[in-house]
Amino acid sequence: MRLAALVVMAAVAGFIGGNVLQLPELYDKVSGKMADNKSEPADFWSTPAIEGYGKIHYVDTPAFKPGTTAGLSNKIVFQINRNEGDIRKPNLGLERVARVTNLYYAAGVPLDQLKFVVSINGDAVSSALNNDQFSKAYGVDNPNLKLISELKKAGVQVTICDQSVAFHQLDRNWIDPMVTHTISSGTTVATLENSGYAFLML
């Protein structure tokens, strides 16, 4: 290889390497500019239906608003199949279910008109463990049980896939009694979709 080509390659490598080393600093600068440093009003975020979970910033806009769209069934089946983030905090999928519930309620749909079903499967099954089994596995109380309780108070049915329970070698009685056992998540979702439920993967 010619000397000139080697010099060009070295220069390019040095440029890329130098910029890669500066990535953390560049990220901080960009994120600092993107972050809005102004303080938010106390009521900017709210949890109107599921207290303390799934916070929303409600904007009253007419487009696709469930509270004013005629003929909606308000039937949704949510599937949650993974753990995200800190295991010591509520499952983010369950938080998103709470957020959708809060949004529907804020948009004018009474809780007794919501037909929401949550299907937990895959790696998310640990979120449905009773407190004793969760603390044995992770050393802390199950942070999801309070959220599941609040969802149930709002009429949201939380279910567990017994195929996933078996796959993860869990006993069925290790699942908290607030959670409904089903044959599988796949059959739950398919049955509900064939009954007119919309499907949301969370």
Residues in the chain: 202
Tokens representing 65? 């608003």
The three-state secondary structure class of 38 is: coil
Residue 46: CB atoms within 10 Å: 15
Residue whose C-alpha is closest to residue 184's, from 122, 128, 130: 122
Q: What is the pTM of this model?
A: 0.81
- Please report, in tens digits, the pLDDT of each residue of the chain (202 residues total): 555 554 445 444 454 454 444 544 544 554 455 555 568 898 899 999 999 999 999 999 989 999 888 889 999 999 999 998 899 999 999 999 999 999 999 999 999 999 999 999 999 999 999 999 999 999 999 999 999 999 999 999 999 999 999 999 999 999 999 999 999 999 999 999 999 999 999 8
Query: Which helix (H) or strand (E) element contains residue 201?
Result: strand 198-201
At residue 197, φ and ψ (nearest 5 deg) are: -85, 140
Distance, in Å, from the CA atom of 36 to the CA atom of 39, rounded to the nearest integer, reads 8
Q: Yes or no: say if 158 and 120 are a contact pair by the CB < 8 Å rule.
A: yes
**Helices within the chain (DSSP H only):** 3-21, 23-34, 92-106, 131-138, 145-153, 162-167, 185-193
Residues 6+ positions from 100 with CB-CB distance below 8 Å: 54, 76, 78, 116, 200
Distance, in Å, from the CA atom of 197 to the CA atom of 60, rounded to the nearest integer, reads 25
